[in-house]
Amino acid sequence: MKIVIDTEAGTLERVGERVDPLLSAESFKTLSDLWVRVGWNQKYSYGFSWFGRPIMQLPEDMIRIQEVIYRVQPDVIIETGIAHGGSLIFYASLMKAIGKGRVVGVDIEIRPHNRAAIEAHPLASMITMIEGSSVDEGIVGQVRAQVKPGETVLVLLDSNHSYGHVKAEIEAYREFVSPGSYMVVTDGVMEYLAGDPRTTADWVWDNPRRAALDFAAGQDAFVLESPAPGHDEHLVDIRTTYWPDAYLRRVK
Are 91 and 65 found together in one domain?
Answer: yes
Average pLDDT over residues 23-41: 95
Q: Which residue has the higher pLDDT, 226 or 192?
A: 192
- Average pLDDT value over all residues in the chain: 96
Let me know whether 86 and 34 are in one domain: no
Q: What is the pLDDT of residue 226?
A: 85
Which of 143, 163, 156, 187 has the alpha carbon at shortest distance from 80?
156
Do 81 and 1 share a structural domain?
no
Over pLDDT 90: what percentage of the chain? 94
Residue 17 and residue 104 in one domain: no
Host domain of residue 93: 48-250
Tell me the C-alpha distance between 95 and 103, whole Å.
8
- Residues 116-151 have pLDDT tens digits of 999 999 999 999 999 999 999 999 999 999 999 999
Q: Write out pLDDT tens, residues 68-119.
A: 999 999 999 999 999 999 999 999 999 999 999 999 999 999 999 999 999 9
Structural domains of the chain, count: 2
- Per-position b or e across 239-248, b if 16+ CB within 10 A of its CB: bbbbbbbbbb
Residue 1: the pLDDT is: 87
Q: pLDDT category, 232, cuts 50, 70, 90? A: low
- Is the same domain home to 184 and 82? yes
Q: Average the pLDDT over 223-238 and give the result.
A: 77
pLDDT (0 to 100) of residue 233: 66
Same domain, 119 and 236: yes
Q: State whether 28 and 125 are in the same domain.
A: no
**Where is average pLDDT lowest: 13-27, 158-172, 217-231?**
217-231
Mean pLDDT of 26-40: 95
Report yes or no: 55 and 131 within 8 Å, Cβ to Cβ: no
Q: What are phi and psi of 126, to 5 degrees?
A: -100, 5
96 with 192, same domain: the answer is yes
Q: Are 122 and 27 members of one domain? A: no
CATH code, domain with 78: 3.40.50.150
Is pLDDT of 177 > 90? yes
Give which of 48, 38, 44, 58 is closest to 197, Cα–Cα: 38
Q: What percent of the chain clears pLDDT 70, i.e. is strictly above it?
A: 97
pLDDT in tens, 239-250: 899 999 999 999
| 128 lies in the same domain as 215 | yes
What per-residue confidence (pLDDT) applies to 238? 83
| Contact present, 184 and 247 (Cβ < 8 Å) | yes
pLDDT of residue 145: 98
Same domain, 203 and 123: yes
Looking at the structure, tell me whether residues 23 and 53 fall in a common domain.
no
Instruction: Say what the pLDDT of residue 235 is.
Output: 64
Cβ proximity of 239 and 60 under 8 Å: yes
